Amino acid sequence: MQQLGMGQAVHQALREEMMRDARVFIAGEGVGVSIHDNPMLPTAGLLKEFGPKRVRDTPVSEAAIAGLAVGAAAAGLRPVVEIMFNPFFTLASDMIVNHAAKLRYLSGGKSTFPLVVRMKSGAGFGAGCQHAHNLEAWVAHCPGLKVVMPSTPADAKGLLKSAIRDDNPVVFIEDMMLYFAPGPVPEGEHLAPIGKADVKRPGMDVTVVTWSKMLGVALNAATRLEQEGIEAEIVDLRTLSPLDKETVLTSVHKTGRLVVLHEATRTGGFAGEVAAVVMEEAFSSLKAPLRRVTGPDIPVPVSPPLERFYIPDEEKLIAAIREIL
């Protein structure tokens, strides 16, 4: 099977969907001509292949980029727009939160807004807190949006293709660190369902619910724990909204223990939602208190030791698992 980084997998999904459907176009800052010239990045080469009609470099205007998507989707196109970094979501948020998410409801179900907003996220590049800030819980808090955060190149391809074909607005968050780690990706038609979590590793002793880049941390921790005879089940949510409660609850019923792991900061983070669902619907299965392993409640710092301190790692996850075993 082909080995691709997540950036290349996203590229393949975009390319295949653009070939499949003439209504699909992409727009954003540097999606055509970028300040980077790196074939590992998602939109590299698309301008050359599809031309400037369908690959639109925009001004630095996040509200206009997101509004472009809302209006074009209302008029029947299938826009895939890029907000360069997750923190810049704040500049686009009126169009996404007040319009993309609500206009269908306000139309009484008459209108559809089939659009995808891609955003890059993730600490680890020393880029600082105004370029790295995982805001997925903000978006997941908005009814009317779907929120997808893939953790593997194959899922990125399959989920993005599904997102582009979805008739709802989808916020698709890619962790940049994953762009450069190759993994197997099916060629051609490969769809992954939105709203369906994936058990990336089965286990009997503890459930770790995670998503995006933290999947790698969870899998590494599970490999280490295995040597001690501890079997962690790793549930990759893939989609935060709609949340696949069933897969999470099935796993917790089996293991009786839960740790939720995410890179985003702790207070108001999506781990709280997962924890609440489990407390409400699987309390009697829990053998121990659940744990959250998250970034601390600080902006992402720049200095390498500070940034490493921010990002949850295997040690923190293993310590949390040991606490409840």
Partner 1 sequence: MQVSKEKQIEMLRSMLLSRRFEEELTELCKVQGKIPGMMILCTGQEAVGSGVCAALAPEDVLISNHRSHNHLLAKGAEPRALMAEIYGKRTGCNKGKSGTLHLAVPEVNAPCTTTVVGGGLPIAVGVAFAQQYRQEKSVTVCLFGDGAADEGSFHEALNLASLWRLPVIFVCENNLYAGAQRYEEHTAVRSVADRAVAYAMPGEVVDGNDAVAVYEATRRARELAVAGGGPTLIECKTYRCRGHGESDPQHYQPKDEIAAWQEKCPIPRLRDEVLARGLITTEELREMEAAINAIVEDAVRFAEESPYPRPEEALEDVLVQ
Report if residue 61 touches partner 1, rule: CB under 8 A: yes
Neighbours of 166 (CB within 10 A): 19
Residue 135, SS3 per DSSP: coil
For tokens 């299938």, what's the residue? 78
Q: Distances in Å between the alpha carbon of 69 and those of 72, 76, 106, 240, 263?
A: 5, 10, 18, 22, 28
Comparing CB distances to partner 1, the nearer of 79 and 183 is 79
- Catalytic option among 11, 36, 99, 131: 131
Report if residue 146 touches partner 1, rule: CB under 8 A: yes
Min CB(92)–partner 1 separation in Å: 9
Report if residue 14 touches partner 1, rule: CB under 8 A: no
Q: Which of 19, 20, 105, 322 binds partner 1 (CB under 8 A)?
A: 105
Report if residue 103 touches partner 1, rule: CB under 8 A: yes
Min CB(81)–partner 1 separation in Å: 10
What is the footprint of partner 1 within residues 24-53 (CB under 8 A)? 25, 53
Min CB(22)–partner 1 separation in Å: 9
Min CB(24)–partner 1 separation in Å: 11
Q: Could you tell me which of 14, 101, 87, 89 has the C-alpha nearest to residue 49? A: 14
How far apart are the C-alpha atoms of 116 and 147, rounded to whole Å? 10
Report if residue 306 touches partner 1, rule: CB under 8 A: no
Please give the helix or strand (H or E) that residue 308 lies within, else none: helix 304-310
Report if residue 109 touches partner 1, rule: CB under 8 A: yes
Is the bond leading into 39 cis (omega within 30 degrees of zero)? no
Q: Which of 11, 104, 118, 157 binds partner 1 (CB under 8 A)?
A: 104
Report if residue 143 touches partner 1, rule: CB under 8 A: yes
Q: Which of 3, 33, 45, 98 binds partner 1 (CB under 8 A)?
A: 98
Report if residue 167 touches partner 1, rule: CB under 8 A: yes
Min CB(58)–partner 1 separation in Å: 7
User: Do residues 198 and 148 touch, judged by C-beta distance below 8 A?
Assistant: no
How far apart are the C-alpha atoms of 203 and 56, rounded to whole Å? 46
Buried b (16+ CB within 10 A) or exposed e, 4-36: bbbbbbbbbbbbbbbeeeebbbbbbbebbebee
Report if residue 305 touches partner 1, rule: CB under 8 A: no
Q: Which of 110, 189, 227, 284 binds partner 1 (CB under 8 A)?
A: 110
Report if residue 7 touches partner 1, rule: CB under 8 A: no
Q: Which of 41, 55, 72, 218 binds partner 1 (CB under 8 A)?
A: 72
Backbone angles phi, psi at 84, to 5 degrees: -50, -50
DSSP notation for 247-261 = HHHHHHHHHS-EEEE
Report if residue 172 touches partner 1, rule: CB under 8 A: no
Comparing CB distances to partner 1, the nearer of 48 and 110 is 110
253 is catalytic: no
Close Cβ partners of 148 (under 8 Å, ≥ 6 residues apart)? 159, 160, 163, 170, 171, 172, 173, 194, 238, 239, 240
Report if residue 207 touches partner 1, rule: CB under 8 A: no
DSSP notation for 56-87 = EE--S-HHHHHHHHHHHHHTT-EEEEEEEEGG
Min CB(42)–partner 1 separation in Å: 21
Point out which residues bind partner 1 (CB under 8 A): 25, 53, 56, 58-59, 61-64, 66-77, 79, 94-95, 98-99, 103-112, 143-144, 146, 166-168
Active site residues per annotation:
131
